[in-house]
Amino acid sequence: MCATCGCADGARARHQHDDGTWHTHDAAGHERQHEHADGQTVTLEEKVLARNDALAAQNRDWLRARRVLALNLMSSPGAGKTTLLERTASDLAGELVIGVIEGDQETALDADRMRAAGCKVVQVNTGTGCHLDAAMVREALTALPFYVHADLFMNPTAELADVVLPVATPFEREGLKIGFDVSPEAQSLVQLRRRLIEPRGEARSDTEIVFELARRLGLGDRFWDGDIEAAQRHQLAPSGLTLEALRASPAGLRVALRVRYRKYAEEKEGVPAGFATPSRKIELYSETLLEHGYPPLPDYEEPLVSPSSRPDLTPRYPLILTCAKSTQFCESQHRGLPSLRRRAPDPEVELHPTTAAARGIRAGDWVSVITQEGRVRARAQMNESLDPRVVCGQHGWWQGCPEIGAPAYDPFGPEGANLNLIVGNAAIDPVSGSVPHRAYLCEIRRVD
């Protein structure tokens, strides 16, 4: 692998030169020892990972000095991660103080379960983990000495791995779901979804992968010795339901729920519980933000890359780039399904007709969306409801659909359609860590 650009056999290589231009080339057959136009080799650590490594080292030293063991658990929803944590907290109660940083972006249910298990819990929004600089993430994963990836499909991230573990689809495994987060009535439903077909090839469920990995690492006693049904019975025990009863009723069974009101007023040893804030009160004025040097009250701040905050960029990038999800697909998934891809065959960018006319762009033209970070391609569509200064792109385009001849797109190059590639991480929000995918400066040009 080239230490300057990260190129390797079977990959596309992309790097930036001193003059700010980007260079992309096929890496197949690329010699390990070679020179680029800048004549300089810059290691991945210096170029991408040095600051992360320094911060990680500081964190490890801080944790080690306090004799803290930190573990990062990731899985797909419903794989049983929270149940495992509950079991761990139960087994180690009185031996260790356990804290959990919970990253659920939709509900606080898992955080509440861990608090009930006696853990100290902080819930954070992990959205920035989905929107990191694509090139940086690629280089970081390529630099790993060994990388194992578990996924349903081969995708640009999986292609970087040394080993890919195929994950079974929901139709190839049983799935226990306790409560559906739609309504109170739905929350009372417990269902054991049946396996419809046998797993194809060597596919296993997320839970099987986690349990077997734990067993082989000598942690089987904390994962029911690899017995998934034993774990599910433990999970069901408070409800009084059994796996046998659920299998006999595939539509699910209901458990009577106790609705609690005014939980903040419930007392423990004569003290009201309050709210999950430092003061245990509803906080409009955040002492926590103030202690960390941020304004304690919300206020408007101009985006860090906008016509007002960066007037020096507006001559080259006069338009404001935002983005929206395509209603045909789920995030970056399903573009390989013919029935959906026929409805939306190409990545699109919407712009006002007057903005398009000023640039000689007509509906359906291929255009380049250009920022100071790079460029990607999309088909132009007109939208009179947009402000003439705004253009709206789509994220998630990489997958091809061979059945109808729809192409795949290079997620790391200017001929691709990866919108995340052209929005920089330097302008992230200092409080939330959010990347400015809804407000960045760009220009649109027709591709001849």
- What is the number of helices (H) and of strands (E) in the chain? 12, 17
Q: Which residue has the higher pLDDT, 384 or 111?
A: 384
Given a cut of 50, whether residue 182 has pLDDT beyond it is yes
**Rounded-to-integer distance, Cα 143 and Cα 137, Å:** 10
pLDDT of residue 135: 77
Q: Which two tokens stand for residue 265?
A: 């007023």
3-state DSSP helix/strand/coil percent for the chain, to nearest 5? 30, 20, 55
Q: Which domains does the chain have, with CATH numbers?
A: 167-259 (no CATH), 261-299 (no CATH), 319-446 (2.40.40.20)
Q: Which residue has the higher pLDDT, 426 or 49?
A: 426
Mean pLDDT throughout 104-112? Answer: 65
pLDDT of residue 138: 82
Q: How many CB atoms lie within 10 A of CB 259?
A: 5
pLDDT of residue 188: 93
Chain center to CA of 388: 31
Q: Which two tokens stand for residue 339?
A: 């029935």
* Closest residue by Cα to residue 277 from 267, 264, 260: 264
pLDDT of residue 399: 92
Taking only the tens place, the pLDDT of each residue in 359-388 is 999 999 999 999 999 999 999 999 999 999
pLDDT of residue 75: 63
Q: Which two tokens stand for residue 68?
A: 């803290």
**Lookup result for tokens 């790079």:** 374
Given a cut of 70, whether residue 40 has pLDDT beyond it is no
pLDDT of residue 426: 80
pLDDT of residue 301: 87
Mean pLDDT throughout 117-130? Answer: 59
pLDDT of residue 275: 92
Q: Does residue 57 contact residue 89 with C-beta atoms inside 8 Å? A: no
Confidence of residue 1 (pLDDT cuts 50, 70, 90): very low
Given a cut of 60, whether residue 441 has pLDDT beyond it is yes
Q: What is the mean pLDDT of the chain?
A: 82
Give the count of alpha carbons within 13 A of 127, CB side only: 13
pLDDT of residue 115: 84
Four-CA torsion 194, 198, 201, 205, nearest 10 degrees: 20
Given a cut of 80, whether residue 136 has pLDDT beyond it is no
Confidence of residue 82 (pLDDT cuts 50, 70, 90): confident
**Rounded-to-integer distance, Cα 157 and Cα 149, Å:** 8
pLDDT of residue 184: 86
Q: Does residue 398 contact residue 376 with C-beta atoms inside 8 Å? A: no
Confidence of residue 250 (pLDDT cuts 50, 70, 90): very high
pLDDT of residue 47: 39
